[in-house]
Amino acid sequence: MAKKRVTKKARRPGRGKKAAAKAKRVKAEPARRKPAARKLAGPKTAPAAVPAVNPLRELARRIVDVTIRHDDEGAFALYAPNVQSVEVGQPPTFGIEAIKQKFAGWRAMAPQSTWRARTVCVDGNTIVIEWEGDVTFATGKQATMREVAIHEIENGKIARERFYYDRTTLQP
């Protein structure tokens, strides 16, 4: 082993032999690297499973989305062909063509509206949505309309629906 020369720093007055020896060692020894962190070998686990999306919740989200965007064609795709729809004070209507007529009648009666879903509940095969809308009717009347829509789902489509609201809101 090659001898290293003791530097002046190591021989400074007031330092003992131990300090001088330590200073010498520090100069003579190469810097040590920290050992690399070891990965602990644990049991291999499968990646966390992505929670399954509840199809009824997804359908509720789509109902809200198409309503807010006034996407009638998108809404029609959510209905079963033989859907039953009931409005307050009116006889039930049946079938997708009746739904299309209801949508056209609403657009003629209330050409401008902005809707917000206040509450969305999903239970069993039922979706309940509490709506609040700012509506401008064709007559120019403006109103805030509150409505509860109940959608019964079969095979991923709306099979029956009922709407509850204050009918006086619709009067001129």
- 129 by Cβ neighbours in 10 Å (0-12 / 13-18 / 19+) ranks as buried
pTM: 0.69
User: Quick one: pLDDT at residue 77?
Assistant: 97
Domain 63-170, classified CATH 1.25.40.10, yes or no: no
Q: For the chain, give every domain's residue range.
A: 63-170
Give the Cα separation of 170 and 88 in Å (integer).
12
**What pLDDT sits at residue 140?**
93
Q: What is the pLDDT along the chain (172 residues), one digit of tens a residue?
A: 555 555 555 555 555 666 555 555 555 555 566 666 665 555 566 666 666 778 999 999 999 999 999 999 999 999 999 999 999 889 999 999 999 999 999 999 999 999 999 999 999 999 999 999 999 999 999 999 999 999 999 999 999 999 999 998 888 7
Q: Is the dihedral of CA 170, 109, 115, 118 positive or negative?
A: positive
How far apart are alpha carbons 108 and 115 in whole angstroms? 17
